[in-house]
Chain A
Amino acid sequence: AQSVTQLGSHVSVSEGALVLLRCNYSSSVPPYLFWYVQYPNQGLQLLLKYTSAATLVKGINGFEAEFKKSETSFHLTKPSAHMSDAAEYFCAVSGPFSGGYNKLIFGAGTRLAVHP
């Protein structure tokens, strides 16, 4: 079965510090991988995605993620946190072992807090 694990339900960083949100997947076939952000009382917004092209993916708002097959990871990073980055972040996967690439399987989410 295919699943996704986000390490750390809560992450707190100082404004200007590096943001690192961890995501690991379990699948024998490299899946498609996504990071979404959810601001309070809003839907999900795509930050970036990996669909078997370049392993280093750049997204919106200065975020990027690197697909590492050997580590089955897709960690999200941003060099310098802004107060406006405070939100919940979800890693998601899709692939052949989850019923097809049509379905997204989400991690439990990581709530990012940014303090002055």
Chain B
Amino acid sequence: GAGVSQSPSNKVTEKGKDVELRCDPISGHTALYWYRQSLGQGLEFLIYFQGNSAPDKSGLPSDRFSAERTGGSVSTLTIQRTQQEDSAVYLCASRLGGVQETQYFGPGTRLLVL
């Protein structure tokens, strides 16, 4: 079946602009994650959605970052007033069941802030 998809695959933006990154999880997966992968920081957890519960936002690096998940499916990660240090690969993952289940990752969105 279809895996996790993300769009765009690449995004180049100017410092100060807002960007939106999209994630389509595997159908039926109730949990959705955003991670950031950068050269300096490695792979970092950003935010986690589970069903209708309040999201765990503890990994968001600043209030310029926000995410929403509509209808329990598609998620959008928004970065406002982008900075050069936001340049990274943003990975989305989804999970079907409980915490022992596997997180399936999408191919990522490569963001470059000039």
Contact = CB atoms under 8 A, between A and B. Distances in A.
A103 B31 CA distance: 11
Contacts of A41: 107
A99 B56 contact: yes
B25 interface: no
A13 interface: no
B58 interface: yes
A94 B45 CA distance: 11
A32 B99 contact: yes
A57 B55 CA distance: 32
Nearest to B4: A43
A104 B36 CA distance: 12
Interface residues of A, number: 24
A70 interface: no
A108 B44 CA distance: 10
B4 A105 contact: no
Interface stretch (A18-26, A45-53, A61-69, A73-81): A45-53
A84 interface: no
Question: For the side of the interface on B, what is the size category?
Answer: 20 to 34
B105 interface: yes
Contacts of B31: 102
B4 A108 contact: no
A103 B35 CA distance: 10
A43 B91 contact: yes
B43 interface: yes
A101 interface: yes
A94 to B, nearest CB: 7
Interface of B: 4, 31, 33, 35, 42-45, 48, 50, 56, 58-59, 91, 93, 99-100, 102-108
Give 8 nearest A-B pairs by CB, closest first.
Answer: A43-B105, A106-B43, A101-B99, A44-B105, A51-B100, A43-B107, A103-B45, A46-B102
Interface of A: 32, 36, 41-46, 49, 51, 90, 92, 94, 99-109
Given A90-B43, A105-B45, A106-B42, 13 more contacts: A32-B100, A42-B107, A43-B91, A43-B107, A44-B105, A101-B99, A102-B48, A102-B56, A102-B99, A103-B45, A103-B56, A104-B33, A106-B43
